[in-house]
Structure 1
């Protein structure tokens, strides 16, 4: 194949780690002379993702002007490189037209952050990862990678979701074709095993990699009992981005399609097959077919959790645990008052409307909700990590009645002169039905879908009221 390919590394990595991928492509018909390996600064504190994207554009133009880089090429990026690629696209090709990269393959991308970003920015992270770089680990880069970061939200609302209108973005059948491949296997190395989290590849959660996200604005400012719901428009033109979850790959192994992973060849070969499928896509119809095929494959990965005999038979060494194969989701909430100011002191409670008891609440906390992260730079943002399989098969099973999930928000008053929601309520509270498992009831109740392996944005607007004594007129 004569088409050129550029490969970009992630945070705290270098182009040298992609020599194996380069050789794999060469052995499958690609001309190695046409493969570019990019290097970029990721661990200096002053460099932002935007800086890398701007410099990337300048380098591409320089190489194309000299006739060294083709007018059309493919992009492959690992981990943080996916954010660099997306930033480059929305900055210079926001409608997807005229972009030299028709195919963008993302390997274990941190599209919606990584739990480890906070660790990298900590004293421990600087003492270990930054020891060879004057104790710098890329503060700006890690701030963008933190769960629920403002950067991720701004980027997503430029290329994936539109909270306010119906504008399309750069991706879709007649525009740029992104592909996402990620693993659900944690690290096997004893030292790195401490970083593992169920439903992740040891560094990036499966739902944080998936570009097929959704969003909604829930506005209580006019009616605290029945909020106004404004679903966000998808910018992909209704297209599903191909997304593959592999059961035998961790965050490092996803870069090496020919490496042994402990799985039988049938499973181990899937990474290489998916990479070649993405780079070989040549029509909108094929793009849609790949999305459906990869979706079915991801469901096969999840099905291994319920089939212990098959799970053990597919792996020569330790088979994945059931929880590693569960399908998770992220819910990212951001709360503002009706004046647009952030609300930091609030609590979100998940419950079944049919069984709102202390026992039911405890079951959700222990069986379904795996982790809650408060963003360090914007405490009005929370990232909830939910085990969707346990929601469906454990929490719903133990609660009688309709299979529904609701949430309430409680916000502490700003002070003695102002309060949220109604003054008669001791602490402001609003309710929202998040999920209903059955379609007729879901439509009638206005509930949203909580998709497996996906990230959901929920922007919440709450009323802010001033007491009578704040302003008076007297004769």
Structure 2
């Protein structure tokens, strides 16, 4: 087998983070038909906790480190954890786009454990005073520049992910990508100062949907020829390449007991070996299908009863979630700062008709305030059957929920008047935005409004005597 490189995540300061995973993989590789020895394994030591280090810096240094391996077959496989996934994916993009400055070493398999592909809701916490205090007591900086990349809706992460969605399938280059992620937090690691660490639909650090590379890019843009007081926006949808994606039941992001990597649970090791055994497109497609069946079985067993000492257990219903990252701009790329964005339901297109409890979280990017990440309960939006109590199936934990489709969107810009402004806008009545969402998946939604420029912005006059135009008349909108 080619060399196997392990790449850790953000803020790691010791290779102990890999736990027994490398050794267990080596021990069980032979049973999977893989010739893997400890001499074939390399553990990364990269610095993400220095505030001066950027993602391009890591990519450049990673490329240099690979060259130093002097690989005999000029190829390797890689297992990453958390932000290590985006680091290697950024390197793959740089290798493709800048062949003159990056190595020709070929990556065959990229197995990402709990990757923060679309970022983490916790990245804002990491930049807070609490994050700085934790880093100060540990003797390291929080890694500001890497956290900027990892923030939900960052321009850098969206650039990488939209490039992936719209580029050729990695299978055409002979590259096999895999995402394995835990399906729940480690409740023992819950931080009472931040509820994200115990958030259902995540592994305690990264949301399941934000890990998954089976993603969509949707655009709501002005409908050609539409007239009226409210601009109508037409929907266009693009889907990214299919990526093998598996939920590791009971695994969390980190921790000695449940962590997807350090605990080296048998399910994690076996899933990695299944990924590394893939040798053809047919094998890859078959594994994708198998993972989907296994995920469906996990989703069917959605009730978790968390022990609460002498009290009744806490009930968690693990519905599939969707992450919707909304970017509000106009047709020239100006961000619509301060604009109101509302989801609507039913043929009446009313926000009042949305299912109760469907909105789980809303977070605006700190650097691009017109980029908003919405965490949604996909099951409640789709409509779900009754959820029974596993202790007594005659009891109901949640009654059946009806779908409220079709779903739409409306936008209310802050500037509704003036020489240059925007108008109210809404999605077309025939478009159902539920089609852009996927269970355990992320959708980037670009909402693009027409820019209303009035003829009063620029006029020509035949009057040669001095004219005061300090209070211009707006006039009609330029077509």
Same fold flag (TM > 0.5)? yes
- In 2, Cα distance between equivalents of 1:335 and 1:198: 28
Q: 1:429 aligns with which of 425, 432, 437?
A: 425
Q: Is the 1:104–1:179 Cα contact (8 Å) retained in structure 2?
A: yes
Q: Does 1:157 align with 2:162?
A: yes
Report the alpha carbon displacement of residue 153 of structure 1 after superposing the two structures with TM.
0.9
Q: 2:380 aligns with which of 361, 385, 390?
A: 390
Q: 1:372 aligns with which of 355, 362, 378?
A: 362
SS in 2 for 1:349: strand
Report the alpha carbon displacement of residue 460 of structure 1 after superposing the two structures with TM.
1.6
Report the alpha carbon displacement of residue 274 of structure 1 after superposing the two structures with TM.
0.7
Q: Is the 1:105–1:278 Cα contact (8 Å) retained in structure 2?
A: yes
- In 1, Cα distance between equivalents of 2:98 and 2:176: 13
Q: Is the 1:221–1:338 Cα contact (8 Å) retained in structure 2?
A: no
> Would you say how many aligned residue pairs link Structure 1 and Structure 2?
423
Q: Is the 2:222–2:448 Cα contact (8 Å) retained in structure 1?
A: yes
What are the superposed Cα offsets for residues 41-66 of structure 1, whole Å, 9 maximum, x if unpaired?
Answer: 111111111111111111111221xx
The 1:336–1:258 alpha-carbon spacing in structure 2 relative to 1, beyond 3 Å, is closer
SS in 2 for 1:128: helix
- In 1, Cα distance between equivalents of 2:288 and 2:352: 40
Number of the residue aligned with 1:315: none
SS in 2 for 1:27: helix
What are the superposed Cα offsets for residues 371-399 of structure 1, whole Å, 9 maximum, x if unpaired?
Answer: 11111111111111101012122699766
Q: 2:67 aligns with which of 37, 61, 68?
A: 61
Which segments of 5 or more consecutive residues in structure 2 lack a partner in the other structure? 30-35, 307-311, 386-398, 464-479
Stretch moving more, 325-334 or 171-180: 171-180
- In 1, Cα distance between equivalents of 2:118 and 2:341: 20
The correspondence of residues 177-192 of structure 1 with structure 2, limited to 5 A, is 177-189=176-188, 191-192=190-191
Report the alpha carbon displacement of residue 286 of structure 1 after superposing the two structures with TM.
0.8
Report the alpha carbon displacement of residue 349 of structure 1 after superposing the two structures with TM.
1.2
Q: Is the 2:344–2:351 Cα contact (8 Å) retained in structure 1?
A: no
Report the alpha carbon displacement of residue 152 of structure 1 after superposing the two structures with TM.
0.9
CA RMSD of aligned residues (A): 3.0
- In 2, Cα distance between equivalents of 1:351 and 1:246: 34
- In 2, Cα distance between equivalents of 1:47 and 1:393: 45
Q: Is the 1:352–1:399 Cα contact (8 Å) retained in structure 2?
A: no
Report the alpha carbon displacement of residue 353 of structure 1 after superposing the two structures with TM.
2.6
Which segments of 5 or more consecutive residues in structure 1 lack a partner in the other structure? 260-268, 313-317, 422-427, 437-445
Report the alpha carbon displacement of residue 356 of structure 1 after superposing the two structures with TM.
4.6
The structure with the larger Rg is 2
TM-score, normalization by structure 2: 0.81
The 1:18–1:147 alpha-carbon spacing in structure 2 relative to 1, beyond 3 Å, is same
Q: Is the 2:22–2:41 Cα contact (8 Å) retained in structure 1?
A: yes
Number of the residue aligned with 2:212: 210
Q: Is the 1:433–1:448 Cα contact (8 Å) retained in structure 2?
A: no
Number of the residue aligned with 2:246: 244
Number of the residue aligned with 2:388: none
TM-score, normalization by structure 1: 0.81
Q: Does 1:281 align with 2:278?
A: yes
Q: Is the 1:89–1:99 Cα contact (8 Å) retained in structure 2?
A: no
Report the alpha carbon displacement of residue 196 of structure 1 after superposing the two structures with TM.
1.4
Q: Is the 2:19–2:264 Cα contact (8 Å) retained in structure 1?
A: no
- In 2, Cα distance between equivalents of 1:290 and 1:98: 28
Q: 2:408 aligns with which of 403, 406, 409?
A: 406
Higher share in helix: 1
The correspondence of residues 131-170 of structure 1 with structure 2, limited to 5 A, is 131-133=137-139, 136-158=141-163, 160-162=164-166, 167-168=167-168
SS in 2 for 1:109: coil
- In 2, Cα distance between equivalents of 1:152 and 1:434: 31
The correspondence of residues 15-414 of structure 1 with structure 2, limited to 5 A, is 15-29=15-29, 30-64=36-70, 70-93=73-96, 99-133=105-139, 136-158=141-163, 160-162=164-166, 167-168=167-168, 171-172=170-171, 174-189=173-188, 191-192=190-191, 194=195, 195-220=197-222, 222=224, 223=226, 225-232=231-238, 234=240, 236=241, 240-252=242-254, 253-256=259-262, 258-259=264-265, 269-305=266-302, 321-323=315-317, 325-354=318-347, 356=349, 359-361=352-354, 364=355, 366-393=356-383, 403-413=405-415
Q: Is the 1:433–1:447 Cα contact (8 Å) retained in structure 2?
A: no
SS in 1 for 2:147: helix
- In 2, Cα distance between equivalents of 1:346 and 1:357: 18
SS in 1 for 2:9: coil
Q: Is the 1:367–1:394 Cα contact (8 Å) retained in structure 2?
A: no
The 1:359–1:232 alpha-carbon spacing in structure 2 relative to 1, beyond 3 Å, is closer
SS in 2 for 1:461: strand
